[in-house]
Amino acid sequence: MQRLIITTIQTALNWEDKQANLEMLEDKIMSIEGKTHVVVLPEMFSTGFSMKPIALAETMEGPSVAWMKRIAKEKNIILAGSLIIQDGEDFFNRFLWVLPNGQLGVYDKRHCFSLAGEDEHYTAGNKRTIASVGGWKINLQVCYDLRFPVWARQQIQQDPEKEAAPEYDVLIYVANWPEKRIHAWRTLLQARAIENQSYVVGVNRVGDDGNGLHYSGNSMVIGPLGEVIYEKSDLEDIHSSTLERAYLDEVRKNFPFWMDGDNFLIV
């Protein structure tokens, strides 16, 4: 697939009100006109960034995951975003990648935000997830993960039967990143694109949450040279961006910095 269309939904969220958020987001998703392959929602899109998993968590068989599967099927899209999920005795900030046929991939947020006590309520994930669609490889990450570049670093695929290649083509961050630290958000998203020579998509929320934090959004789509393709601040917005395989391949061919990267192992 030479072109990958990703639609970002930057929106305010109803604090800890799952039904209101699902209804609101369904209206927004169904309003998308034209072709899109992937629709990306913010972090904890059904609740806001809440530290009440005991009250708000659902299992993978719960209504919010069922809602994602239904919307993905009806709209014929991949639907992506994170939810509060209980798995066994543990609670996770879990990024779901839901296909139209009901299959899904999961990524559990690795870096829990200790400044807000997330590490006291949620279990950290221990592995990365690289999803795929139409030949595009997509690295799924959540909010605070952005501050830890090793976790997102390209690892060169060394298959003796194929040419060496970067591990992924698109890096997606879903977030609830407050306005007071938005400079770091914008700067680090561009840095991840430059150092990994990949597209980067960052989807943040807007508005105020139940803790009095304000969010300016600044959702972004960034090209593999660090150039800003799309950015929106302060306002709710639904935007579709077309990522070009030919351009990505050209950048990597003309500037093969990725081939000189260090070999390393994440343990």
Tokens 């690795």 belong to 110
- Pick the catalytic residue: 109, 112, 179, 232? 109
Q: Are the beta carbons of 105 and 82 closer than 8 angstroms? A: no
Q: Are the beta carbons of 141 and 107 closer than 8 angstroms? A: yes
- Pick the catalytic residue: 43, 69, 118, 179? 43
Confirm whether 109 is a catalytic residue: yes
Nearest to 214 by CA among 49, 80, 83: 49
Confirm whether 250 is a catalytic residue: no
Parallel, antiparallel or unpaired: strands 136-142 and 170-174: parallel
* φ, ψ for residue 241, nearest 5 deg: -120, 140
Q: Are the beta carbons of 107 and 80 closer than 8 angstroms? A: no
- Pick the catalytic residue: 16, 18, 112, 143? 143
C-alpha span between 106 and 245 (Å, rounded): 25
Cα maximum dimension of the chain: 55
Confirm whether 112 is a catalytic residue: no
- When computed from its CA atoms, the radius of gyration of the chain, rounded to whole angstroms, is 18
Could you tell me which residues are beta bridge partners of residue 90?
87
Question: How far, in Å, are 8, 48, 62, 184, 213 from residue 131 at the CA level?
Answer: 17, 24, 23, 26, 32
Active-site annotation, residues: 43, 109, 143
